[in-house]
Structure 1
């Protein structure tokens, strides 16, 4: 609802959402916190609500990434990734999800640069494996599966054609006209726009793209715009009264109250009190090259919020390491410096990242929790819910799913015992392992 209202307020009319991928593989760096979890019924339920809210605010939804991301551990931004589910498994998972939304009249679908080899083999047994194309360039997937078998007659848009997963499949001069010929209606983004226009024109002249298919694509684009009133020039509300308004901030805070999940808890660590923990050390874990810990739009920090509650809090400075502590420090030394340690991980899901794993300082893993058996230690993930894979030994672990001011405020209330932890995990946070549950 908030996304729809704020998008409409700033003049948007099309949303590349909801994401209806299934978070099958916890090592997948893309689906992670971008989809609604690992359960297809949950995904359908929440995506239905998002679609309804977008439509109520005059925003055209676009579900993605057909034929389904989340199986491969690799990123289609960097290569043509693979959904290697068998035909039956795909039909009973991703297939059911897409069939549901197609039956309910979804108007647009984004197609990913994702291979679906078992379907290609079934549809076209004569096709050699080296000739398999990602869905955005595959006639078998676009025309036979999506159009004919699933019955989708709406607008098909490619995922960004600047992505490597699209460009390595074939020469861009052929890929652009062929993605239209094989079933896409619209191309998302360009590399060199003048060159890309030339590739389409040349493709039409050389027979890679037929006039009939081009006309069909243009007709679908115009029809989609007309069906959604994009030629009506309806006025939008004043954005400053809508974007970031108090009502939306309150709703975001309520979402955080319901979502934040206490996955594991060591007896006696929570709730935090200034009497029990005189000094708290915080380790901020994030990408080293993103300009710092706080994401754009986030004004608060856990450090400042806890300080306002009367705690003596300081952050471990990775740029000014205490070499005596790194090479000679022991349990007594760290106990003199802090009574509690909190790790705050903010490895948000991001394009062009091969992994969303915890990364320690290379020098002696100086910021790793070697002391956790002797100093109470809490691990908080603001994004990726799967960090237990890298810190199974930590006994108090919390997932927040997103990093914003409202989430941080609610997190502090829950740490202090002012709010109960009520969130339930939408995925297997234990990553299918026994050691993460201990």
Structure 2
């Protein structure tokens, strides 16, 4: 019989397999249970990390604080105090899902808008280099979801778009290069997000596709990334009723149809493992989300995640209690010894595939000076500027407003949405660099004021700056006209028949749905500084627009094109 650890995606040599087996054999049941957990750490305080170290977890997910040196020391502590080498994971998604000390790269939708797989490959190499410099050996990327329900606030800019071929090819380029450089990739969110406009952070979401539709879309994507050797898949709090009904042979709706994949043996063990042949590690999505905590009582939920097919349990509000629930489940039979052994074997196999058992501490986290030299290296920043410039997409300019000129558009009225940070530790988004540059070019900027409404007598241009990147718990994407224009009368007022108007989205690309008549509209996908620098040159006509929209920015509304 073929040794499964010698097969893709682990591809372990006999010595590595021997390490996995020997390590598994010497771990106690409590230590094995510890290996099932990947706990979140927020900021750089060392005390919480020491508390988690006592549980001997399999991994830690780092939401680092803003100080690089303190963050480096906190990660070093985590690595030093665990005998079995730790998986250090992160959501390294680009855009605003980043840290202030790393290269400001585009998010996935910005990457896709470049429409250049060579650039995607080069970006993945930069991500891998900076991950390794920070001690990360496991990235929860790429997102392989499809942008279908455009109101979804959580998919949006985290995805490569709505086209199956684009998502597949971009994901393959990214995965191959990231893993070639020693960082494990993760395809998420199994079994496929994007057709339900709700957010699994707030509710269990539903993939409504028939199995034929699923096979032609998500099935094709997952089969491709599995064949390419993706090391891990994230099983999410998403239901796929068509598969459950196919397996159970019923048609009338039943509660089981809507069970999240993260707790479903039919979806994770039978569809992902048996049908698609995935041999790598399955990690649950965050178990603090409403999409899973609303499904069952916690003490039942914790062991069921592993028993039903996940190999690692992601995040916990009460780590000690969840570890105890897992141990209780093992003693009661809710978690079988067989599943425990299988799951821990895969956790150890991922560590061995990354060579963690052979690496010194300095190889797993380089000395701080070396880390500082790698982050924001000149070549990395040059790539960020190139991709930023190539991604910006001019969606429409029906009245030939662009390029902007101070002699024609000097008096600018700004209408702004508040911008919000995405993940803990992410830099606070701001468009102030762009505004400072516009002032330096001779434009006079003032904020919209209901007491002084814009008119041809006092303004030459209305500039709408909107759009957060994909944001958990934001529920839905929409323009709040009341907030933008200050009151109920303002909410019903549109200025573009009286003044030139330009709307720029620095995040989600779908605001033409709520502003179909705006004559000029640009999607930049994020507001990282390289994007703002490139945008200025394009607004002033010094560079052309080259971005290719990865989605239908008109949201199916033909009227929005005019």
Shift in Å at residue 295 of structure 1? 5.5
Alignment of 1:177-326 (within 5 A): 177-234=303-360, 235=363, 236-237=365-366, 238-286=370-418, 296=428, 300-316=432-448, 321-323=449-451, 325=452
Give the TM-score of the pair, scaled to structure 2.
0.73
Kindly tell me: are residues 341 and 367 of structure 1, through their superposed partners in 2, closer, same or farther at Cα, counting changes over 3 Å?
farther
Alignment partners' CA distance in 2, 1:435 and 1:116: 34
Other structure's SS at 1:380 match: strand
CA contact (8 A) 2:466 2:505 kept: yes
Shift in Å at residue 322 of structure 1? 4.0
Partner of 1:66: 190
Shift in Å at residue 233 of structure 1? 2.1
Shift in Å at residue 146 of structure 1? 0.6
Kindly tell me: are residues 248 and 297 of structure 1, through their superposed partners in 2, closer, same or farther at Cα, counting changes over 3 Å?
farther
Alignment partners' CA distance in 2, 1:322 and 1:21: 41
Alignment partners' CA distance in 2, 1:131 and 1:120: 8
Partner of 1:131: 256
Partner of 2:241: 117
Other structure's SS at 1:301 match: helix
Please say which of residues 240-249 and 175-184 is displaced more in the overlay: 240-249
Alignment partners' CA distance in 2, 1:417 and 1:287: 27
Alignment partners' CA distance in 2, 1:380 and 1:205: 57
Partner of 2:64: none
CA contact (8 A) 1:300 1:405 kept: no
Structure with greater helix percent: 2
Alignment of 1:398-409 (within 5 A): 398-409=522-533
Partner of 2:178: 54
Partner of 2:220: 96
Other structure's SS at 1:89 match: helix
Partner of 1:29: 153
1:167 aligns with 2:293: yes
Alignment partners' CA distance in 2, 1:13 and 1:365: 53
CA contact (8 A) 2:172 2:224 kept: no
Shift in Å at residue 347 of structure 1? 2.0
Report which structure shows greater RCO (CA 8 Å, sep ≥6): 2
Shift in Å at residue 337 of structure 1? 2.2
Shift in Å at residue 207 of structure 1? 1.7
Alignment partners' CA distance in 2, 1:372 and 1:156: 51
Kindly tell me: are residues 297 and 370 of structure 1, through their superposed partners in 2, closer, same or farther at Cα, counting changes over 3 Å?
closer
Shift in Å at residue 298 of structure 1? 5.2
Alignment partners' CA distance in 2, 1:429 and 1:33: 12
Alignment partners' CA distance in 1, 2:308 and 2:248: 14
Partner of 2:266: 140
Please say which of residues 64-73 and 128-137 is displaced more in the overlay: 128-137
Kindly tell me: are residues 365 and 32 of structure 1, through their superposed partners in 2, closer, same or farther at Cα, counting changes over 3 Å?
farther
Partner of 1:387: 511
Partner of 1:347: 468
Kindly tell me: are residues 305 and 368 of structure 1, through their superposed partners in 2, closer, same or farther at Cα, counting changes over 3 Å?
farther
Shift in Å at residue 288 of structure 1? 8.2
CA contact (8 A) 1:303 1:314 kept: no
Residue 359 of structure 1, aligned match among 474, 477, 480:
480
Please say which of residues 127-136 and 219-228 is displaced more in the overlay: 127-136
Alignment partners' CA distance in 2, 1:338 and 1:348: 29
Alignment partners' CA distance in 2, 1:400 and 1:205: 53
Other structure's SS at 2:173 match: helix
Alignment partners' CA distance in 2, 1:167 and 1:355: 21
Partner of 2:133: 9
Kindly tell me: are residues 52 and 298 of structure 1, through their superposed partners in 2, closer, same or farther at Cα, counting changes over 3 Å?
farther
Shift in Å at residue 367 of structure 1? 6.9
Partner of 1:43: 167
Aligned length: 424
**Structural RMSD (CA):** 2.0
Shift in Å at residue 366 of structure 1? 3.4
Alignment partners' CA distance in 2, 1:22 and 1:16: 17
Alignment partners' CA distance in 2, 1:3 and 1:298: 23
Runs of 4 or more, structure 1, over 6 Å off, are none
